[in-house]
C-alpha cells in the first residue's frame, strides 16, 4: 500500500514540474514577443503600470493564500492545510 502512495506522489510531482515548465515557456514567449509590442503601442509608462499591477496582485495572493511553513511539523501543517 505504501508503494502505491509513493508512486502517486511521484506522478503528481512529475505533472507539476511539467506544467511549471510549460507555463514558464509560455510566459517567456509572451515577454519576448509582447514587451516590444507594448513599448511601441502602449508606451513605457503604461507597460510599467501593467507589470506593477500584476506584481501588486501577486503580493496580495501570497499574503492571502500562501501560509508560512517554517518551523512547523508535518502534523501541524496537515491540520492547518487540510480542512475537514
pLDDT in tens, 43-61: 999 999 999 999 999 999 9
Indicate if 67 and 78 belong to the same structural domain: yes
Indicate if 30 and 55 belong to the same structural domain: no
Structural domain count, the chain: 2
Indicate if 56 and 36 belong to the same structural domain: no
Indicate if 67 and 52 belong to the same structural domain: yes
Indicate if 50 and 68 belong to the same structural domain: yes
Dist CA 72 CA 38 (whole Å): 44
Domain that holds residue 35: 1-41
Q: How many CA atoms lie within 13 A of 72 on its CB side?
A: 12
Dist CA 44 CA 10 (whole Å): 44
User: Which residues touch 69 (CB under 8 Å, ≥6 apart)?
Assistant: 77
The reply to whether the predicted model has a pTM over 0.75 is no
The residue-averaged pLDDT of 6-35 equals: 89
Indicate if 30 and 48 belong to the same structural domain: no
| pLDDT given for residue 18 in this prediction | 96
Exposure string for 68-82, b = 16+ CB within 10 A, e = fewer = eeeeeeeeeeeeeee
Amino acid at each position: 500500500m505504501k508503494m502505491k502512495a509513493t508512486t502517486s506522489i511521484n506522478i503528481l510531482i512529475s505533472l507539476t514540474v511539467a506544467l511549471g515548465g510549460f507555463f514558464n515557456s509560455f510566459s517567456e514567449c509572451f515577454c519576448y514577443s509582447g514587451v516590444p509590442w507594448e513599448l511601441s503601442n502602449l508606451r513605457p509608462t503604461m507597460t510599467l503600470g501593467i507589470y506593477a499591477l500584476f506584481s501588486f496582485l501577486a503580493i496580495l495572493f501570497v499574503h492571502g493564500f500562501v501560509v508560512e511553513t517554517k518551523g512547523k511539523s508535518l502534523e501541524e501543517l496537515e491540520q492547518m492545510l487540510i480542512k475537514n
